[in-house]
Structure 1
Amino acid sequence: MFTRGSRYQAVEESEYVQADGRTVRYKRIRFLPSPDGRGGYVVASGDRPDTAAWNIAQDAESYWRLCDANGTARPAELTARVGTRIIIPDPTGGAGS
């Protein structure tokens, strides 16, 4: 259902059986990890969430890990203000990744 590497890939699935007998499969709630990261990245002029992720991890699609580590659900908020320090998540998958 989700692509490999998606933030929802490892989220547990559940089922709900409707009154008419149909089964609906869904993902459980994904709780954000605590924002315990290492170092920081200072937002530069022209940065976007994907370019910041590329500069940090050489993976533009990992911007959602930055969102998790920084406690934001809106990727654009990561780079909205030049000079903002972005917490970098732990690359080993520990807290904050």
Structure 2
Amino acid sequence: MFSKISRYRALDDVVTTDADGRRLSSRALRVAAVATGQFTHTIADADRLDQLATRYYQQPRNWWRICDANPEILSPQELLGAEPVVTYRCDISPGAGIPNLLRALTEMVGVSRAVLDGEATVVVTFNRLNLTMPDLAATMLAHGFTASAAKQIGRTGKQIVIPPNITG
């Protein structure tokens, strides 16, 4: 049973047979429409998909249209930079032992990548559910490096497509 405003309500029922011979009823797949955006929106720190849908479509439940128009982004949270996995850029004091520092960072639970960008900038990708930037800074300090204020590399300031408001 679907709400009368559900985008799945009008889809046909489909009956299939599984490998064990059972007949199963479901809805046909909703094929994402090709959305050609008429304009873009620059992501701000406080943006939420429901608020963007309200702003552009006067309906917060239409957030999925924005997701459909940006298929290169895998999740709604990633679209707005709220994914648990984040990347930070941090300048460190120059010094020997950078390979050891990168190895120590990479071995931390939750870190998926730690690389040197230039001579004294470390870029670390980690799961913020496991770690915080102060945890990483403490590891840097323990290896003899001081770190500047880290800056998150995310979607803030980047553009996403806002498709036209076509009902259907």
- State TM-score, norm by structure 2: 0.47
The equivalent of 2:5 in structure 1 is 5
Amino acid at match of 1:45: D
- The separation in 2 between residues aligned to 1:77 and 1:83, in whole angstroms, is 14
Aligned residues: 92
Does the 8 Å CA contact 1:43/1:52 hold for their aligned counterparts? no
RMSD value over aligned CA atoms? 2.3
CA deviation string 1:42-87 (max 9, x = no partner) = 1112111112212222211110111111125522122112122221
**Is 1:52 paired with 2:126?**
no
**Is 1:39 paired with 2:50?**
no
Choose which of 66, 85, 89 in structure 1 pairs with 2:163.
89
Unpaired runs of 5+ residues, structure 2, are 82-154
- The separation in 1 between residues aligned to 2:160 and 2:61, in whole angstroms, is 16
Stretch deviating more after TM superposition (72-81 or 62-71) = 72-81
TM-fit CA distance, 1:26: 0.4
Q: Structure 1 segments of 4 or more deviating over 2 A?
A: 4-7, 9-12, 16-20
Unpaired runs of 5+ residues, structure 1, are none
Q: 1:17 to 1:33 in 2, by over 3 A?
A: same
Amino acid at match of 1:78: L
Stretch deviating more after TM superposition (69-78 or 26-35) = 69-78
Amino acid at match of 1:36: T
Of structures 1 and 2, the larger Rg is shown by 2
TM-fit CA distance, 1:17: 5.6
The equivalent of 1:66 in structure 2 is 66
Q: 1:60 to 1:13 in 2, by over 3 A?
A: same
